[in-house]
Structure 1
Amino acid sequence: MNDVSVSEGVAYVYDSDWQLETRRLLANQVIWDAGTIDHLERLGVRDGWRCLEVGAGCGSIAGWLADRSGPGGRVVAADLSTERLGWLAGRGVEVWRHDVRSDPLPAEAFDLIHARMLLQHLGEGRDAVVRRLAGALRPGGFLYVEDTDPSPVFRGTAKDALSAVKAAGYQIMREAGFDDRGGQSDIETLLRCGFSDVVADGRVAVIRGGSAEAENYLLWLDYLAPRMRAAGLVGDAGIAAARRLLQDPDHRWLSQVMLSVVGRKGGRADDGH
């Protein structure tokens, strides 16, 4: 995800109706899709697999899953906002408008469920969601979740402007319910919810200013800047200085750590695995 959208009772930091949200999600894909696909290949996704992508965003991973699982498989792309997923219809993907916190899922219907940058936004509802996802997996099926740890962001720079907007931005996100422990919390959640063979690893990217990857950080800043100003955390001059650095091709920084966590549902696996 890609990300989930605002829903009753959840002060989610991003607004799916923001005019630049599609661009932000696409920039997210540029940074993270290659690593996600590498993990999916190692899991052995193949023809005939039944896959659910939760919080599908713009649909890049659902499209990849459709290509890999072939005509004998099934892929569902689920999100609260489905306007960005229409292109998947031509790929044989089912698109569901779905709130994973409250809407039912079919029992034992999928070999794989994937969610990226979703669980860390769910607060105390995380365990209930993971148990709901477990119920939708066939015995032996995989839950593959990815969330970020922002501690390395902008590391490698001594620029005060970026340090200031990082501190302000993540303060606002934490106040909105964002869990900055990311995948570390996911490990604990999967173990609590009864998954076996839980494994995890992390990846980072080096981002160059002005690049397609850098646009993700620029849009993050643009989205949160009004709240930074309103809270008195960063002023106009600081925000402008940070924007210049994010657009400067001579400036590089570290991304978040994306932690990928995979667990397997207990029970007897069928021939799909």
Structure 2
Amino acid sequence: MTQTDGHLLDSRQPEAGPRHDALAALFDPTTFRHLERLGIGSGWRCWEAGAGGASVVSWLAKKVGPTGRVVATDTDTSWAGPAVRPPVELRVHDVGADAPPGEGFDLVHARFVLADVVDREQALQSMVKALRPGGRLLVEEADPALQPLACPDEHGPEQHLANRLRAALCESYARNGTDLGYGRRLPRLLREAGLRQVEAEAYFPVTSSGCAALESATLRQYRQRLVETGLATDQDIDRHLANVAADGTDLASAPLISAWGRKP
């Protein structure tokens, strides 16, 4: 796996689209619940950092209305379609290397971004800098090291294979520099960045159709890299994908850690 710009994973692969869609289907309800808790409303100015897709951006646009502003940034914006329209402003931007796309934001949000950015500290500082006094930051990251199993109930060969392939994926991410334990450190990092009223919560789906969709999309995206590095075989991946399609493996996702705070 090679570094792309300031990021450790390449979201510009053709297979990345289905994975982004699966992530949105599985985690959007949790993200929206936290954003509602932060009080988002008409007229807010928002920065969606490392957007990766249109689902959160479109939801934010509806919430802020015509008097609001949503700046959506990503290193690749080819995912944008007809759903991305004013008040959304789409910009090519690297959160780990570029200056913030403005200041005075009421809300900055990033999901599945910082753990895969080369300069995580700079990226977090950039997001805090972009907030107005009293503005809110919501950062969400998976923590595969906290719960590394695809099947917590490993009761047969199908579950054993699923867990072995999940370990291979995590090993591949770690070799590339992804911080697999970044999610659990978010509360401390937000406090150290100067935020107040910091809180955090974990969402951990144990089994769902969304978990199965994400599993399939992830393995298809990283299949070639797993095989080329000797971490998995095509035969193992094909067998596991067939098991997932048969809907009998009770697949779980890594916990999503959501942490938020307010700029003084």
TM over 0.5, yes or no? yes
Aligned to 1:239: 237
Confirm whether residue 75 of structure 1 aligns to residue 67 of structure 2. Answer: no
TM-score (norm 2): 0.90
1:194-214 Cα deviation digits (max 9, x unpaired): 111111010112334xx4542
Instruction: Return closer, same or farther for 1:107/1:89 CA change in 2, 3 Å cut-off.
Output: closer
Aligned to 1:190: 190
Aligned to 2:4: 7
Aligned to 1:228: 226
Q: Is the 8 A contact 1:107 1:137 kept in 2?
A: no
Between 1:25-34 and 1:186-195, the stretch displaced more is 186-195
Distance 2:3 2:182 in 1: 19
Aligned to 2:124: 130
TM-score (norm 1): 0.87
Aligned to 1:147: 141
Distance 2:165 2:98 in 1: 36
Q: Is the 8 A contact 1:119 1:186 kept in 2?
A: no
Q: Is the 8 A contact 2:43 2:68 kept in 1?
A: yes
Distance 1:100 1:261 in 2: 18
How far 1:57 sits from its partner (Å)?
1.1
Instruction: Return closer, same or farther for 1:149/1:9 CA change in 2, 3 Å cut-off.
Output: closer
Distance 1:184 1:195 in 2: 17
Aligned to 1:30: 25
1:120-153 Cα deviation digits (max 9, x unpaired): 1124x11111111111100010110000112254
SS in 1 for 2:243: helix
Aligned to 1:271: none
- Give percent identity, aligned residues only: 33
User: Please, which runs of 5 or more residues in structure 1 have no aligned partner?
Assistant: 267-273
Q: Is the 8 A contact 1:101 1:128 kept in 2?
A: yes
Q: Is the 8 A contact 2:65 2:87 kept in 1?
A: no
Aligned to 1:260: 258
Distance 1:242 1:261 in 2: 33
1:69-126 Cα deviation digits (max 9, x unpaired): 1111111111111111232443421111111122222553200000000111124x11
Distance 1:9 1:112 in 2: 23
Task: Let me know the Cα RMSD of the aligned residues.
Answer: 1.9
SS in 2 for 1:205: coil
Instruction: Return closer, same or farther for 1:9/1:212 CA change in 2, 3 Å cut-off.
Output: closer
